[in-house]
Amino acid sequence: MLFACAATDDFFRSRIDHMIDLRHPLAVLASRMPWQEIEARVAQVFSRRGRAGVAMPDLDLFGEQVQRAAVPSNAGRPRVPLRIMIALLYLKHAFNESDEGVVERWGETPTWQFFSGQAYFEHHRPCDATTLIKFRQLLGEEGVEELLAQTINVAVELKLIKPQELARVIVDSTAQHKAIAHPTDSRLLETARAKLVEAAQGAGIELKQTFAKEGKEMGRKAGRYAHARQFKRMRRAIKRQRTIVGRLQREIDRKASAIGQAVREALAETLNKARRIVSQSGQRKAADGQPKLYAWHAPEVDCISKGKARTPYEFGVKVGIASTLRGNLIVGARAFHGNPYDGHTLAEQLEQATILMQDSVAKPATAFVDLGYRGVDADNPSVHIVHRGKAKRISEQERKLLKRRQAIEPIIGHLKSDHRMERCHLKGEQGDRLHAVLCAAGYNIRWLLRMIARKGVAFLQMVYLRLCQIAGLSPNWSPMPRMPLVHALSSSAHRLAFASI
């Protein structure tokens, strides 16, 4: 049956708000998010640069006339609405979807389209998955921090968290893994050999020998010897791989210099990486001032030791997380490259949290940390740092509140398992920084949905119990957060009581 909606111009389609349950937490959050403010703050990144006018010699009564040269339009396809792109980033990390998965699921979920500001349901993808990559890069770290800050503002405006709770934060660090294979000398040397051959072929350099067959065989032998714990044979195979890569690197360097300086400069990065891998595979410790290379395509990866028995070493970047002491809302997330000491990251982490909470007129006054942040009180004079090492110097109340410090550990666990922080697929140091902040924004979106559902059920329960008391009926309430209230009303008398609201 076709019907027209009074509030629409489309006669043949009904609006999304007539198709979904507007009591759904995501629908409620869609109407409470300050979309216009978010778009206004990030729109400056996407402003088009106006073409400069070309001065023409024609003069009239009003002086020299400025005319624009006729340039064919290269605008191409119209831009995807800004709110849709922002909503896609929120939904991607809130519901643990990939770039391809979030655009596919968006075309099948009316609630997601309502959250994105759509008036009608559209059964197609909003954009290509690669558009999200370009959008993230244009946003930059400042833009994604704005998305995280707005989730904090919404939590305060909806009174889901008290503003004074923002003054007490828990700070901890974790490792954000990079999407790389486990680094071994044998695998890195074989990768270096293949990349050197590929670079030489691209530059038109003819090699005497590529060692393709022997290189692959040495890689397989090294893996088998390591599995059999025959380390002498394994080291012999790795030594041969190192010899092969060194020979190729010197031959390419020699022939590139003979061709010209431009070719040598084009191959400089590849030759430098190969030289580093050969050098580090021949010694256990890294050279002074030269960090080890753990992945050819991701030179920014650090080796982080967190003291875990199962995974003693993690390969990625260190990320600092700040959450409220009560309520478990994330108020800061930042990636720190170079594997710094935890205490040296505290000042930057608190500075970021202060900037993100400035709209709520709050800033961290007390930070609860673990023993990894000892000895940095002088670097943070405006913040009171509380940890277990100060047991005799803190008050009894702070000693009790310190027991809440462990609450950040499950937050980190949810960030990794439910919001994509377990493995970062974004490129470079900027990708690490963007990914950490977006994971925190996705966590806060899920936090807001849980709190909206809990607050709504509590309000309906209070109204229902009050009506039962007035009508003299025995309450028959089954508190299930995801169940509509009408399902909890089992008798016609209770439904009649609820209908009199």
pLDDT tens for the 501 residues of the chain, in order: 334 445 556 777 888 988 898 889 999 999 999 999 999 988 877 665 444 444 444 444 444 444 555 566 666 777 889 999 999 999 999 999 999 999 999 999 999 999 999 999 999 999 999 999 999 999 999 999 999 999 999 999 999 999 999 999 999 999 999 999 999 999 999 999 999 999 999 999 999 999 999 999 999 999 999 999 999 999 999 999 999 999 999 999 999 999 888 888 999 999 999 999 999 998 877 766 678 999 999 999 999 998 888 889 999 999 999 999 999 999 999 999 999 999 999 999 999 999 999 998 899 999 999 999 999 999 999 999 999 999 889 999 999 999 999 999 999 999 999 999 999 999 999 999 999 999 999 999 999 999 999 887 665 566 566 666 766 666 655 444 444 443 443 343 344 343 343
Alpha carbon dihedral 180, 186, 188, 191, in 10-degree steps, equals -100
Label residue 137 exposed, middle or buried (CB < 10 Å: 0-12, 13-18, 19+). middle
Contact (Cβ atoms closer than 8 angstroms) between residue 278 and residue 192 = yes
- pLDDT for the residue numbered 139: 92
Alpha helix ranges (H) inside 5-109: 25-32, 35-42, 82-94, 99-106
Q: How far apart are CA 441 and CA 145, in angstroms?
A: 8
Contact (Cβ atoms closer than 8 angstroms) between residue 318 and residue 312 = no
Single-letter code of the amino acid located at 237: A
Q: Set out the domains of the chain in order of their start, with CATH numbers.
A: 160-180+302-425 (3.30.420), 185-281 (no CATH), 455-499 (no CATH)
DSSP state, 297? S
Distance between first and last Cα of the chain:
32
Q: How far apart are CA 95 and CA 101, in angstroms?
A: 10
Residues 205-234 as b/e (b if ≥16 CB within 10 A, e otherwise) read: beeeebbeeebeebbebbeebbeeeeeeeb
**489, two tokens:** 């009303």
- pLDDT for the residue numbered 485: 40
The structure's pTM equals 0.84
